[in-house]
Chains A and B, each alone.
Chain A
Amino acid sequence: KNQVEQSPQSLIILEGKNCTLQCNYTVSPFSNLRWYKQDTGRGPVSLTIMTFSENTKSNGRYTATLDADTKQSSLHITASQLSDSASYICVVSAVSGGGADGLTFGKGTHLIIQP
């Protein structure tokens, strides 16, 4: 069964600090991995998307890494800001001949930035 596990479940850090969120997956055959940011009460917004050949991708202060061999990804946030407070969701897509693109969602990491 395809699964996406994220850790930690929740995280509290001080403004200006860095943090790293983890994502482990058992989705096969792998197509791509995306990180989404979801503000409370809003829809998810894409931060990065990576295919199996990409090891790292940056989007401003967000840097995602992917190790397709160990099936692990991380999202590093640099110099956190109060607006970074949100849930961060790891979504892994399987190559599929049918169905809804084989998307498997993690439960997310709830990040709180304190002033």
Chain B
Amino acid sequence: EADIYQTPRYLVIGTGKKITLECSQTMGHDKMYWYQQDPGMELHLIHYSYGVNSTEKGDLSSESTVSRIRTEHFPLTLESARPSHTSQYLCASSEVQSMNTEAFFGQGTRLTVV
């Protein structure tokens, strides 16, 4: 089983609140990712990081921000939550890419903004 953890698992929050979704991995992976997934839809990459102090935006535009101060930690922050942010957020990590590199996913955070 993968050693990558996300908290909280579920979050219901009011519009305008600031929230931080936590993601930690104990595998020493340099690469970490955040994906957004609506019910029944595919995963969309919103942020990724190659290592400490490296952050990049993904294919899907997002109002969230991320930071990578430590290798094992990759939190995602929404400064002012809106109902349009309601979705499932999945964190993943992987080693430096080789032919058989695999991404390991966390359990996800299901966010509902009311």
- A69-82 vs B, Cβ < 8 Å mask (1 yes, 0 no): 00000000000000
Contact status A110-B40, CB under 8 Å: yes
Does A67 sit at the interface, judged by CB under 8 A? no
Query: Nearest chain B CB to A89's CB is how many angstroms away?
Result: 7
Residues of B within 8 A of A89 (CB): 42-43
> Which A residue sits closest to B49, measured CB to CB?
A100
Residues of A within 8 A of B103 (CB): 46, 91, 101, 103
Does B74 sit at the interface, judged by CB under 8 A? no
Q: How large is the interface on B (under 10, 10 to 19, 20 to 34, 35 or more residues)?
A: 20 to 34
Report the bound CA distance from A103 to B99 in whole Å. 13
Q: Give chain B interface residues in 64-100, CB to chain A under 8 Å.
A: 88, 90, 92, 94, 97, 99-100
CB-CB under 8 A for A44 and B105, given A100-B33, A101-B31, A105-B43: yes
CB-CB under 8 A for A100 and B48, given A43-B90, A43-B108: yes
Residues of A within 8 A of B102 (CB): 34, 46, 49
Does B45 sit at the interface, judged by CB under 8 A? yes
Contact status A106-B94, CB under 8 Å: no
Mark A residues whose CB is within 8 Å of B. 31-32, 34, 36, 41-46, 49, 51, 89, 91, 93, 99-101, 103, 105-108, 110
Mark B residues whose CB is within 8 Å of A. 2, 6, 31, 33, 40-45, 48, 56, 58, 88, 90, 92, 94, 97, 99-108, 110
